[in-house]
Structure 1
Amino acid sequence: MVNNIVDVLRALGAEIVRTPTSASFDSPESYLGVAKRLMEEIPNSHILNQFKNASNPIAHFDGTAEEILDGCDGKIDMLVASAGTGGTIAGLSRKIKMKCPSCKIVGVDPCGSILAVPDSMNKSDVTSYEVEGIGFDFISTVLTRDLIDKWYKSVDRESFLMSRRMIREEGLLCGGSSGSAMYCAIQAAKDAGLKKGQRMVVILPDSIRNYMSKFLSDDWMSQRGFLELEQQLEPAKEWWWQLNVGALKLLAPLTVMPSVSIQETLDLLNKESFDQVPVVDERGQVLGMATVGNMMAQIVKNKVKQSDPVSKVMYKQFKQVHMDTSLGQLSRMLDTDHFVLIVHNQRQYGFDVKLENKQMIFGIATRIDLLNFITSHDTDQ
């Protein structure tokens, strides 16, 4: 789907500039940083920048809010909206509180984001999320939160399952952030004790258009642990399907520190006959994955030097599963990925004598590993 959009933009004459999703919003490599640089380089250019554009909340104050009030005959008991730039909920809350002072405004923010109030709600081990268009790691200028009565934190799995449910049962072709809003709205209605006759409005901020190859796909959902395999497939007849990944008896993988050079990493992988290697810190935590293909491509394009640290070319997004993942689910992942990292959680006391959960690497599973396991045991079945 993304490639189709890129092709359309190129057909219209646009130049595509890609930025890393992992970049902090205030770094020069982020999409905001790159946009600012391009604006300074390109004559007569302008950034719409909905994070700072005062017309963003005003449009919802003057337009969206009036449409809602008119459709509800001026009576609303609760309004639920998610926050991205914050313009929608800021504009709506100001107008609706003017017309319906008793209306409760509920904000929705994904776990991993910092928009919710109080700030203690944002403390979480979650550092990233799959739902798009809502939540950020900074507070935008247009997001005024003084009129929001209560915040709820959403999580990916429930958000996507709710979106799929609304598509299937209601025919609403909505995006993942709509599922976030609806799931939290149901919780808010229960918590507030809304009764028959009371009126709640839920803002569904996005359509399915940009997510055709994402949460609509059973494979995409199951690969991320959002959909149990049994929910999407008939029971498989293969003898190995329900076995867990521990049956592969994988060897503990080779790992490298982020400061090891790209050339040293390539030499090591060549010597060990591996195609990829996890990059870990001094505590053994996984920072990313380095692959021979990516390192060579970056060197050929002169984007990195062979003497650069391997951390410059590691992937920070990769598939990882736990020991209890079935081989059937692993097989589905390996249909689209060259490897999957197998991890297990270990409780460990740190230097500050605090118990913490540490994620340790058990092994790396490839298609060859799975195929060798199946073929070597087929004669016994």
Structure 2
Amino acid sequence: MWYNNILETIGNTPLVKLNTITKGVPGTILAKIETTNPGNSIKDRMAVKMIEDAEKSGKLKPGGTIIEGTSGNTGMGLAMAAIIKGYKCIFTTTDKQSKEKVDALRAFGAEVIVCPTNVEPEDPRSYYSVSSRLEREVPNSWKPNQYDNLANSQAHYEQTGPEIWEQTEGKITHLVVGVGTGGTISGTGKYLKEKNPNIKIWGIDTYGSVFKKYKETGIFDKDEIYPYITEGIGEDFLPANVNFDVIDLFEKVTDKDAALMTRDIARKEGIFVGNSAGAAIGGLIQLKDQLKPEDVVVVIFHDHGSRYMGKMYNEDWLRERGFLQDEKLTAKSILAKKENTEIVTLDAQKSVLEAINTIKSMNISQIPVTQQGMIVGKIAESDILSALLENPGLKSAPISEIMTATFPFVDLNTSIDKISSLINKENSAVLVEDETGKIEIITQYDIINAISG
């Protein structure tokens, strides 16, 4: 048996029992692994449904251009379907989204326009506004508008809900879903509640998003809105696809908990998933007191971990945000083990001869060069030797004439792995600003000393 094209492989994703990460959570916890869809996310389902509905209604015509604001996954589904069906794609996204997501969309031949995150949805620079403007300007174009297009929810009502009901033999008691556009939770939840009104539908939200307060109070509170790191869930407006009547409660999860839980799913269950899965498991653990041993809980794992390699799966990214405190040596701990010596610098106007004398008297091989107190470059023994072999008269010239680019600056939380990778033939050291604002230098010797010490 074979499929006629890649779109026919969408759906029928496996349901996998979680064994380690949810220890201590009552009930049977099952993950719906949506990464097995060809675009590696649940959004393939609704992307194809939105296109097919638009074709039937005449909104999307042959040879047309699909224009959409997307965090990446919907774009991937749309781009994949567009290739099979003969459409062009232009996507707008935010600068919060991972580079991997943007690169993946471009790999499918789509044009991607990156817009600022920290602006109101109605701001002309927002990714919502830019996509709407392009739809008006580009001939024969169509905007799916995944947030308000109810084909999004309908796809999950027709596919995801029935799959979960059949896979659990109707035993499901709780559905846990990270909520962004609201399509997955609303469509799946509606189907399941029709089958059994006692099934609880739990939405996972993030701090900086409006969903939880709106569900609990009916108030849309603009003061709740602020930028957050978690991708794919939460919103600063109310999409039409969020059916608050279907969702029983919302639980907020912090950026830090979502990021660290995402990594833990890979490390403890061997399932490589994205940020919203971490948020969903984090929320489930927070709500565990509401569960009983006989409950059957299904958690949606929306997308694949490969889209977050530069973020949740990057230790330096986590450290820079204060999310990761581990035993690995950092710039801060290397400095703590280093002898407290004053960093030697030379002003850019000093002569090459003065640099030679300083290097000899201090018994050092490289010196940062300053201009008006700021580090602007470096000078090393090898630089001086090369310069003087070429032109012995340079002894009296200012060192600014032969200095090279400054040593790289690193953060106090930068790991020893990253520091080591920055020290090479061109850079024999890195610079770091300590907590008092004082500039310190870390050499290869300091790293060796810290490891052996």
Smaller-chain TM-score range? 0.5 to 0.7
Query: Once structures 1 and 2 are overlaid, which stretch shifts more, 215-224 or 201-210?
Result: 201-210
Q: Which residue matches 2:89?
A: none
Q: Which residue matches 1:289?
A: none
Q: 1:316-362, CA deviations, whole angstroms, 9 ceiling, x for partnerless residues?
A: xxxxx9xxxxx4549899999x99999xxxxxxxxxxxxxxxxxxx9
Q: Given the alignment, which residue of 2, 8, 15 partners 2:111?
A: 15
Q: 1:164-194, CA deviations, whole angstroms, 9 ceiling, x for partnerless residues?
A: 111011111111110000111122232x1x2
Cα offset for 1:17? Answer: 2.1
Query: Once structures 1 and 2 are overlaid, which stretch shifts more, 124-133 or 153-162?
Result: 124-133
Instruction: Report the Cα distance in structure 1 between the residues aligned to 2:101 and 2:179, rounded to whole angstroms.
Output: 25
Matches within 5 A, 1:99-138: 99-116=195-212, 117-119=215-217, 127-138=226-237
Matches within 5 A, 1:59-98: 59-98=155-194
Matching of residue 213 in structure 1 with residue 310 in structure 2: yes
Q: Which residue matches 1:27?
A: 123
Instruction: Report the Cα distance in structure 2 between the residues aligned to 1:2 and 1:149, rounded to whole angstroms.
Output: 31
> The residue matched to 2:208 in structure 1 has which SS?
coil
Matches within 5 A, 1:1-381: 13-116=109-212, 117-119=215-217, 127-190=226-289, 192=290, 194-230=291-327, 233=328, 240-241=335-336, 327=412, 329=414, 369-371=439-441
Instruction: Report the Cα distance in structure 2 between the residues aligned to 1:177 and 1:171, rounded to whole angstroms.
Output: 16
**In the alignment, is the contact (CA less than 8 A) between 2:204 and 2:279 conserved in 1?**
yes
Change (3 A) 1:235 1:16: closer
Change (3 A) 1:340 1:174: farther
Change (3 A) 1:8 1:125: closer
Cα offset for 1:370? Answer: 2.8
> The residue matched to 2:113 in structure 1 has which SS?
coil
> The residue matched to 1:203 in structure 2 has which SS?
strand
Cα offset for 1:374? Answer: 12
**In the alignment, is the contact (CA less than 8 A) between 1:115 and 1:122 conserved in 2?**
no
Change (3 A) 1:363 1:70: same
Q: 1:222-243, CA deviations, whole angstroms, 9 ceiling, x for partnerless residues?
A: 111110042xx15889652479
Change (3 A) 1:136 1:340: farther
What one-letter code is carried by the residue in structure 2 that aligns with 1:153?
A: K
Instruction: Report the Cα distance in structure 2 between the residues aligned to 1:156 and 1:76, rounded to whole angstroms.
Output: 28
Cα offset for 1:102? Answer: 1.1
> The residue matched to 2:202 in structure 1 has which SS?
strand
Instruction: Report the Cα distance in structure 2 between the residues aligned to 1:123 and 1:131, rounded to whole angstroms.
Output: 19
Unaligned runs of 5+ in 2: 1-96, 343-370, 377-410, 423-429, 446-453
What one-letter code is carried by the residue in structure 2 that aligns with 1:114?
A: V
**In the alignment, is the contact (CA less than 8 A) between 2:200 and 2:248 conserved in 1?**
yes
**In the alignment, is the contact (CA less than 8 A) between 2:262 and 2:275 conserved in 1?**
yes
Q: Considering only aligned residues, what root-mean-square deviation do their CA atoms show, in Å?
A: 4.2
**In the alignment, is the contact (CA less than 8 A) between 1:111 and 1:122 conserved in 2?**
no
Change (3 A) 1:219 1:142: same
Larger Rg: 2
**In the alignment, is the contact (CA less than 8 A) between 1:111 and 1:124 conserved in 2?**
no
Instruction: Report the Cα distance in structure 1 between the residues aligned to 2:323 and 2:288, rounded to whole angstroms.
Output: 25
Q: 1:41-86, CA deviations, whole angstroms, 9 ceiling, x for partnerless residues?
A: 1100111110011100011111100000000111211111110001
Using structure 1 for the length normalisation, give the TM-score: 0.62
Change (3 A) 1:373 1:20: same
Overall identity of the aligned pairs, in %: 35
Cα offset for 1:7? Answer: 5.7
Instruction: Report the Cα distance in structure 2 between the residues aligned to 1:166 and 1:222, rounded to whole angstroms.
Output: 19
Q: 1:200-258, CA deviations, whole angstroms, 9 ceiling, x for partnerless residues?
A: 1111122112111111011111111110042xx15889652479xxx99xxxxxxxxxx
Instruction: Report the Cα distance in structure 2 between the residues aligned to 1:12 and 1:68, rounded to whole angstroms.
Output: 30
> The residue matched to 1:137 in structure 2 has which SS?
coil
Q: Which residue matches 1:298?
A: none
Instruction: Tell me: higher relative CO, structure 1 or 2? Use CA pairs within 8 A at least 6 residues apart.
Output: 2
Q: Which residue matches 2:69?
A: none
Instruction: Report the Cα distance in structure 2 between the residues aligned to 1:25 and 1:4, rounded to whole angstroms.
Output: 24
Cα offset for 1:36? Answer: 0.9
Unaligned runs of 5+ in 1: 249-269, 276-320, 322-326, 343-361, 376-381
